[in-house]
Chains A and B, each alone.
Chain A
Amino acid sequence: MKLSPILGFALVALTLACLPVLLPDGFYLGIATHALVFAILALSLDILIGQAGMTSLGHAVYLGLPAYAVAWLTVQAGWPPLPSVIVALLIGTLTAALFGLLALRASGLGFLMITLALGQVMWGVAYRWVALTGGDNGLRMPGRPVLLGIDLQAPLPFYAVVAVCLLAALICLWHLDRSAFGACLRGTRDQPRRMRMLGHDVWRIRYAGFVIAGFWGSVAGVLYCLDYQYVSPQALSLPQSAEALLMVVLGGAGTLAGPVVGAVIITAIKTVVSSYVDRWYSLLGLTFIVVVSLMPRGLVPGVRDLWERLRA
């Protein structure tokens, strides 16, 4: 069964639009919002993992850095919200452009280690540059701003903005997936030498993928700051990067739905299940082991395979 893309997006949009009605109250809408923010982060990381085949352990940089930028610009520098958000996105994307130059000197394990190191550097700066970042006490952002005439303070309008951003990310990444550029990106993943022989500049293709991932990561970062109204070095930490990676791997790399599903499951375990189960960390680990051993490619491809086997 092949779902037509327009119908697929319409279904996603309908689900997102119905959620506020289906969920019992603002608290669960808030949890859904957290999940969608992380879904955008996981989607952006999947450009690197699923499309370009490069595993990064430093993706929290693009969550934390723009989040710090928004909080600092609006609260400390007193900027209006819109310019702060735009500049924060720029800072995140430019950082990706810079870090891409460094990280893409290697691929595979080397790439992983460089992104890990860069992530730790940013974490260290946030932790130690107390005058700018407040150190481990972090930066607070009292209240969500009014952005483009929308007051984001209440759960519903903010959820709507996050949902629209997620939809935009999905459509954009779907286009990327189908475009010539997407094909090139996958080419550099599967056959980098052959791509080079065909005259493609492998480095440049990977670099473009890295910067796009950085941009969408920054979108998640800005929303993260507005969502929690607080940033601390934990947003830049290695566990945060690893969690994003976990979301992608759990849901299924290289699919549009996978990272979203992964983000929703992990957020649900962290926030909802942890209220009922004391050993929820173990549950998280167990879930991961079960999924990886039964469906090595992740939940979404695994379920799809299962579905097709049942139909056949």
Chain B
Amino acid sequence: MIVSRRGLLQTAAGAVGIAATANTARADEPIRLGFLTVKTGPLAAGGIQMEQGMVLWLKLNGGKIAGREVKLIVADTAGSPATTRTKAQELVERDKVHLLLGPVAAFEALAISDYTNAQKIPVLGVAAAEDMCQRIASPWFVRATSSSGQCAHAIAHYAATELKYKRMTIIGDDFAFGHEQNGAFLRVFEDNGGKVVQKLWSPLNAPDYGTYISQIKSNVDAVFMSFAGSNGFRFTKAFNEYGLGGKIPLIGGMTAMDEAILQQTGDDALGIITANWYSAQVDNPANKEFVAGMQRDYKVDPGYYSGGPAVLGAVLEAALKTTGGNIDDRAALMHAIHANVVPNTVRGTLRFDEYGQATGNVFIRRVEKKGSRYINTVIKTYPDVSQFWTYNPKEFLANPVYSRDYPVARFLEA
């Protein structure tokens, strides 16, 4: 059941003193899910897809998780850290949610992490910032999707060992998400014998990619791009307009060729290979049902943003089955999440490492045309991919977090 805020308040007004009884709730009381997403501002496209994914997942499960009714309470963070914090407080203190899902952006998740940790509120996140599940990992935060680098590691390995690329240019949005993906790509690509000979950064709101495309060296084997939002679409279009399409292969990170922008990108996207923890083409019953639902209800294929809540839902379902439907013992819930192996999510089986990051499938996908639609066909599956790739977690965490300048690119050519 999805309720409007007003409706919830009326219910709350009816049951005076809900605050006092919240912690001793009866088992037949609905689970209150706080859902932080972005519905206004530049990030709204992803945020609304995320909400669609959540609403659909609940609908497919009869509005229940592990047999208990669910009240989904959606709050708009407006893509602002300050507002996110206020909204998180509202969900926790006013609406007495049992746990939080979201928020969309890394800086929003970071803005509330101290608060949610202090309140001991379980947060099932999607924001990809590496450190959320690494250097500042919290027992109250888990991420069922992937860190920035997790998918970039996989495609770097694929590029070096299967595509046999030797020399590459990497380009990305000039903000933390782009830095972390490119850093992860560089590390694994060079550890497998490749050389990154050129690094380019374009501003998040670059009006035109011409200046960056004209800088791309003509003698590289391929270009790796780590764009977010609609930037992947815009870059790819410009790349083809400048005549590089078909000459230099393009590969990309987990949001570069998202299903949300794939249809617009059209023929320009054909053949582009990306890595993601999800694809609408993943062949399992849970995903088939989910994709059919998205196409029926919203006329779109699910992608990075809408797929996330479906994974979170499955994780929660499994955890609540373990705890016997008990959501009030938060420590037990988090323990169940950490200990469970969740077999039937839309991305396949996953489990969590001790830092709260999911270890699971990462798919290498190639854009193909099927009928009149463009799809991300899965061409290889890396199973059980850890956020640390094949590196030792302790050594991995002793290094600085991936950034604009780390790891140092040793083979840059002037």
Contacts and interface: CB of A to CB of B under 8 A. Distances in A.
Interface in A143-169: 143
Interface in B105-152: 106-107, 110-111, 113-115, 118, 129, 131
B93 A136 contact: no
B244 interface: no
Nearest to B75: A275
A307 interface: no
A174 to B, nearest CB: 29
Given A228-B81, A278-B39, A31 B114 contact: no
Contact of B89 (A30, A270, A276): A30
B367 to A, nearest CB: 29
A276 B5 contact: yes
A204 to B, nearest CB: 36
Interface string B1-35: 00011100000000000010000000000000000
B179 to A, nearest CB: 8
Interface residues of A, number: 31
B396 interface: no
A140 B110 CA distance: 7
B81 A135 contact: no
B83 A271 contact: yes
B76 interface: yes
B141 to A, nearest CB: 13
Interface residues of B, number: 37
B90 A275 contact: yes
Interface stretch (A54-62, A208-216, A229-237): A229-237
A30 to B, nearest CB: 6
Contacts of A280: 40, 76
With most chain A CB atoms within 10 A of its CB, the pick from B6, B81, B118, B174 is: B81
Contact of B94 (A27, A34, A228): A27
B93 A25 contact: yes
B81 A232 contact: yes
Interface string A26-58: 110011001000000000000000000000000
B167 interface: no
A140 B107 CA distance: 10
B403 A232 contact: no
Contact of A137 (B78, B93, B110): B110
B80 interface: yes
A137 B114 contact: no
Interface in B65-97: 75-76, 78, 80-83, 85-87, 89-90, 93-94
A227 B110 CA distance: 15
Contacts of A234: 80-82, 107
A130 B404 contact: yes
Contacts of A31: 86
A281 B114 CA distance: 28
A274 B78 contact: yes
Contacts of A143: 114, 118
A138 B39 contact: no
A274 B85 contact: no
B6 to A, nearest CB: 6
With most chain B CB atoms within 10 A of its CB, the pick from A143, A230, A275, A276 is: A275
Given A30-B86, A34-B86, A270-B78, A232 B111 contact: yes
Interface in A105-151: 127-128, 130, 135-138, 140-143
A232 B90 CA distance: 21
A117 B282 CA distance: 48
Given A34-B86, A143-B118, A270-B83, A275 B5 contact: yes
Given A142-B114, A278-B39, A280-B40, A137 B82 contact: no
A137 B81 CA distance: 10
A278 B40 CA distance: 9
B113 A137 contact: no
B47 to A, nearest CB: 12
A30 B83 CA distance: 12
Contacts of B111: 138, 140, 228, 230, 232
A138 B129 CA distance: 12
A27 B93 contact: yes
With most chain A CB atoms within 10 A of its CB, the pick from B39, B86, B131 is: B86
Contacts of A230: 81-82, 85, 110-111, 114
Nearest to B92: A27
Contacts of B106: 136-137
B107 A138 contact: yes
Nearest to B175: A136
A59 B41 CA distance: 22
Nearest to A235: B82
B82 A138 contact: no
19 contacts: A27-B94, A128-B174, A130-B404, A135-B175, A136-B175, A137-B107, A140-B110, A140-B113, A140-B114, A143-B118, A228-B85, A230-B110, A232-B81, A232-B110, A232-B111, A271-B86, A274-B83, A281-B40, A281-B78
Interface of A: 25-27, 30-31, 34, 127-128, 130, 135-138, 140-143, 228-230, 232, 234-235, 270-271, 274-276, 278, 280-281
Given A228-B82, A271-B87, 8 more contacts: A26-B93, A130-B404, A229-B114, A232-B110, A274-B76, A278-B39, A278-B76, A281-B40
Interface of B: 4-6, 19, 39-41, 75-76, 78, 80-83, 85-87, 89-90, 93-94, 106-107, 110-111, 113-115, 118, 129, 131, 174-176, 179, 403-404
Closest 10 CB pairs of A and B: A27-B93, A230-B111, A142-B114, A271-B86, A275-B5, A136-B175, A232-B107, A281-B40, A232-B81, A137-B176
